[in-house]
Amino acid sequence: MKFIDQVNIYAEAGKGGDGVVAFRREAHVPKGGPAGGDGGKGGSIVFHATNSLTTLLDLRYQREYKARAGQNGMAKKMYGADAADLIIKVPVGTVIYNADTDQLLADLVEDGQHATICRGGRGGRGNARFASSRNPAPTICERGEPGEKMNLKVELKLLADVGLVGFPSVGKSTFLSVVTKAKPKIADYHFTTIVPNLGVVQVKDGRSFVMADLPGLIEGASQGRGLGHQFLRHIERCRVIVHIIDMSGSEGRDPYEDYVQINKELEEYNYGLMNRPQIIVANKMDLDESEENLRRFQEKVGEDVKIYPMIAPIHEGLDQILYAIADTLATAPESVMEEEEDSVLYTFEEMDTPPFEIHNRGNGLWIVTGEKVEKLVQMASLYTDDGFKRFARQMRNLGVDEALRISGAQDGDTIRIMDFEFDFYN
């Protein structure tokens, strides 16, 4: 299966159902009495985390998600049915952002966890809700509220306990293949691993943990060079980092310089990666120069730093490394990500934005924009006198009339809000 760990999609919640104007037939009651019911609520867009998925492949092939609208209200004060929420299943470890503002909306880290990202619109009220002593037979109703919609960036960050880091071709894939049943691609050239590989490690004393072999780092990865952020995104959640070094220098690089460069990239990624426990593994110890390079390496990092020699293909040194990893995990923080970045679920907080803006287009045309006024137009019942009068009062109460007057609007000028136009009069 192709591994997909980042995708952009469009999500739109359902519109609320429209309220209706209806009257019942009853003697001695004006027009039979109002009996129009409310519309149903529109469906919301809900993300649901599940362990049954391991990739965002489904989202790659379907880029638009639209929930159903609520049912319109009916006569006899009957409510319209609420629309079902649209459930989008994603792997555990999925993070959801507003693609336009880069705001974190949800971080799904547990099986069964869910987050409502786009809220469905509420149903419009029927005319039975507008009856009063002054107007016992109103012809007013509301159209359904539009559902929320936004462009989303969806990322998958693997939930591995242990992350393998190191330059390309240092033996990370080989190490994973011999300690787990994972079958990563292994070959003698750079960037054999271009997608993360996961495996479950079973230590001989019964302990187990999840290990991820991640794409190799190069200098400048924290700025996006090479596989850059594609790699670093997945190591953010790892509790322990296993740093594998080619101690033979077979690629013509100095092992200590490799060690310093990888740690520099981890530090510059700004997720506190250098604060994670790190286990240093010296691989390819069967090759020439390895023993001498290890001696010089130990001198440079200091005698207090524990280094674990390994010859991965023949399993030499593996048990000692796995016991060290399991021991380190036993004392490592359980949820490093929660300490650095709160797990957020979308809360629909009101944005501190102006209620409307007025634009003079010349030739007596004025355009009014703003979320509040546009929503009033979308929900207004403009085909009856009562409905239009109510809309005019709402505009006046919002301050649109006074703002147009101050801006220079004259009697007879055309006012446009979305696709609705009306004449302005003082």
345 occurs within a structural domain: no
Residues 187 and 329 in one domain: yes
Same domain, 317 and 238: yes
* Cβ neighbours of residue 368 closer than 8 Å, sequence gap 6 or more: 356, 357, 358, 359, 400, 404, 415, 416, 417
91 with 235, same domain: the answer is no
Residue for token pair 């030499």: 316
**What is the rounded CA–CA span in Å between residue 424 and residue 217?**
64
400 and 331, same domain (yes or no): no
Whether 215 shows a pLDDT value over 70: the answer reads: no
159: which 2 tokens? Answer: 């939930």
Query: Does 121 lie in the same domain as 237?
Result: no
Higher pLDDT, 30 or 235: 235
Tokens of 207: 């302990």
Report which of 91, 276, 263, 99 is spatially closest to residue 165, judged by C-alpha positions: 263
Same domain, residue pair 313 and 260: yes
In a domain, 348, yes or no: no
Q: How far apart are CA 379 and CA 122, in angstroms?
A: 10
Q: End-to-end CA distance of the chain: give it in Å, rounded.
A: 66
- pLDDT band for 354, please (50, 70, 90 cuts): low
Residue 1 banded pLDDT, cuts 50, 70, 90: very low
How many domains in the chain?
A: 3
- Name residue 359's beta-bridge partners: 367
Instruction: Indicate the DSSP class of residue 335.
Output: -
Nearest Cα neighbor of 169 from 181, 194, 187, 195 is 187
Residues making up the chain, counted from first to last: 426
Cross-strand pairs, 311: 316
Q: Are residues 183 and 271 in the same domain?
A: yes
Q: According to the model, what pLDDT value does residue 87 have?
A: 96
Residues 27, 86 share a domain:
yes
Question: pLDDT tier at 190 (50, 70, 90 boundaries)?
Answer: very low
349/186: higher pLDDT: 349
Q: Which residues contact 192 (CB under 8 A, 6 or more apart)?
A: 168, 169, 173, 184, 185, 186
- Judgement on whether residues 302 and 390 belong to the same structural domain of the protein: no
pLDDT given at position 195:
55
**Phi, psi (degrees; rounded to nearest 5) at 214:** -110, 155
Residue ranges for the known binding site for Mg(2+) are 173, 193
| Residue 84 near residue 43, CB atoms below 8 Å | yes
- Domain contains 343: no
Answer whether residue 97 is part of any domain: yes
Mean pLDDT of 360-369: 91
Model confidence at 231, pLDDT cuts 50, 70, 90, reads low
Per-residue model confidence (pLDDT) at position 200:
78
Per-residue model confidence (pLDDT) at position 29: 66
CATH of the domain at 28: 2.70.210.12
Report pLDDT for 31.
64
Q: Which two tokens stand for residue 62?
A: 């379907």
- Strands of 278-283's sheet in order across: 197-202, 208-213, 162-165, 240-246, 278-283, 307-309
- Bind-site residues: 166-173, 191-195, 213-216, 283-286, 311-313
Residues 297 and 371 reside in one and the same domain: no
Identify whether 385 is part of a domain.
Answer: yes
DSSP 74: B
pLDDT (tens digit per residue) in 56-105:
888 888 999 999 999 999 998 999 999 999 999 998 889 999 999 988 89
Helix (H, G, I), strand (E, B) or coil at 18: coil
DSSP state of 41: P
Quote the CA–CA distance of 241 and 243 in Å, as a whole number.
Answer: 6
Q: Are residues 330 and 193 in the same domain?
A: yes
Give the range among 1-5, 39-43, 181-185, 287-291 with minimum mean pLDDT.
Answer: 181-185
Residue 351 lies in a domain: no
Which is more confidently placed, 147 or 237? 147
* Higher-confidence position of 186 and 310: 310
269, 324 contact by CB (below 8 A): no
| C-alpha separations of 156 from 25, 46, 85, 214 in Å | 59, 17, 23, 14
Task: Tell me: pLDDT of 223 over 70.
Answer: no
Q: Is the pLDDT of residue 422 over 50?
A: yes
Q: Is residue 346 part of a domain?
A: no
Q: Which residue has the higher pLDDT, 369 or 218?
A: 369
- Cα-Cα-Cα-Cα torsion 298, 302, 306, 308, nearest 10 degrees, comes to -10
The CATH number that applies at residue 369 is 3.30.300.350
* Binding-site annotation, residues for GTP: 166-173, 191-195, 213-216, 283-286, 311-313
Same domain, 211 and 319: yes
Which residue range forms the structural domain that includes residue 30?
Answer: 6-156
One-letter amino acid identity for 357? E
Domain finish residue from 138, 156, 174: 156
pLDDT tens digit sequence for 314-350: 888 999 999 999 999 988 876 544 444 444 444 444 4
Secondary structure class of 322 (helix, strand, coil): helix
Q: Is 304 buried (19+), middle (13-18) or exposed (0-12) by CB count in 10 A?
A: exposed
Q: Output the domain CATH number for residue 240.
A: 3.40.50.300
The verdict on residue 220 lying in a domain is yes
